[in-house]
Amino acid sequence: MAKPGNQKLKLLVLLRYLEQNSDEEHPVRVADMLAELERQGIPAERKSIYSDLEALRTFGLDIEMSGGGYWLASRRFELPELKLLVDSVQASRFITRRKSSELISKLESLASAGQARQLQRQVYVLNRVKTMNESIYYNVDGIHTAIAGDRQISFRYFDYAYDRTKVYRRGGESYVVSPYALSWAEDNYYLLAYDGVNRELRHYRVDKMDRLRVLKQAREGAEFFRKEDIGRYTSRVFGMYRGQERQLRLRFRRHLAGAVMDRFGQELTLVPEGEDSFTCTVTVSVSPQFYGWLCGFGSEAAILAPAEAAEDFRAYLRGILEAQTEKKEE
C-alpha cells in the first residue's frame, strides 16, 4: 500500500483501476477513482483527476467519457479476441483442465471485471476431453529450445493401460530424435522429428512424453526434412472429417483401453465384459473416418448398439470388400 501523500503511484493506480473496472457498459465515475485512491492511501482532489486522465491520454491510452463516467475504450486485446483465445485454450485436448483454468484466469486479467464475467460464461458451456499429463508445457518448451539450438532430444514414450497406469514403449528405453516442428492436429499436439536409426520422419504425441531432455548432439536429417512437404504429411497422417453424431455402445479387447481413452477421454466409463474385454458408451461423429479408426482394431472391436449403427458399419465393410473385388476383376 502506498504511503500517505505518496503521489508517485497515483497514475499507476488510476491506470490499473480503469483496466480492471471500466468498459463501455461499466464507466467509472470520478468519485469511484477518488475512493480507490483513498483505499490505496493516496490523497487526491477531484480536479486533479481530470488532469491525471488527460496525462494518461497523452501517454496513449484511449479513455472515453459517457454517462457521467470514464472508461478504457481500447485494450491490447479486444473482448472478441479474448473469447477466441479462451475458446482455443478450453478446446485444446493437450492442455490439462488445471492449466486451462490458470491460463483463462490470466486472460481474464486482460479484460475488465464485467468483460471477464462474459469470458467465464463462455468457459462453462464448453466440455472438452483433456489430457492428464501436466509435463506437456515443459515438453513444448524443451522442444522449442532444442529446435532453436539445433540439438537432439531424448524422452520416454508411453500409453495408458486399462487401469490408467502408464505403460512405456520399448520397456522404458529412451527415444532419441532430432526435432523439427510441432503440429496441432486432431486436437492433439504432435512433434515431427527425424529418427536417425530408421532414417525417416516420425511423429509423437507431446502429451505422451516424459523425462524429456535436450541433448548436446546436433540434429540429424536436415536435408531429409527439407525435402518433406510437412503440410501434406500432417494432412495424410491426421486428416479427419465430421459426420452425424450418434450414441454408440462399443466393445473392445482390454489391451486397447489406452487407445480408446485417447479418443474419448480419461473419464470414459469402461465396463468389464468377460475376462479380456470391456464395453463403453460414447457419442461419436459417425463417418468413414470413424469406421476406419474402428477397422484399425480388426476383430478386437465391435459396435454393439444401436442395431442400425452396427448394420451401417457392416454395410460399410461390405462396400469396401465389393470395391476391392471389382478392382481385382478389372
Cell of 300: 478386437
Element (H, E) at 156: strand 151-160
Task: Write the secondary structure of 274-306 as one string of H (helix), E (strand) and C (coil).
Answer: CCCEEEEEEEEEECHHHHHHHHCCHHHEEEEEC
- pLDDT tens, N- to C-terminus, the chain (330 residues): 444 556 789 999 999 999 999 988 889 999 999 999 999 999 899 999 999 999 999 999 999 998 789 988 888 888 888 888 887 787 677 777 788 888 888 998 888 888 888 776 544 444 455 666 667 878 888 999 999 999 999 999 998 888 888 899 999 999 999 999 888 776 678 898 999 998 888 889 888 999 999 999 999 998 887 777 666 566 455 443 456 778 999 999 999 999 898 878 778 899 999 989 999 999 887 888 888 889 999 999 999 999 999 999 999 999 988 888 765 555
Candidates 60, 81, 46, 45; CA nearest to 15 is 60
Element (H, E) at 69: strand 69-72
Residue 150 backbone phi and psi in degrees, to 5: 60, 50
| Per-residue model confidence (pLDDT) at position 142 | 92
**Is the distance from CB of 214 to CB of 153 less than 8 angstroms?**
yes
- Where would I find the H helices in the chain? 10-21, 30-39, 46-59, 79-91, 97-108, 113-124, 136-149, 222-227, 230-238, 257-264, 288-295, 307-329
Q: How far is CA 202 from each of CA 146, 155, 190, 222, 265, rounded to the nearest angstrom? A: 17, 14, 10, 14, 24
- Residue with cell string 477531484: 46
pLDDT tens digit string along 43-65?
Answer: 899 999 999 999 999 999 999 99
| Per-residue model confidence (pLDDT) at position 130 | 63
Contacts of 167 (CB under 8 A, 6+ apart): 158, 159, 160, 161, 258
Buried b (16+ CB within 10 A) or exposed e, 176-196: bbbbbbbbeeebbbbbbbbbb
Count CA within 13 A, CB hemisphere, residue 166: 14
| Per-residue model confidence (pLDDT) at position 326 | 61
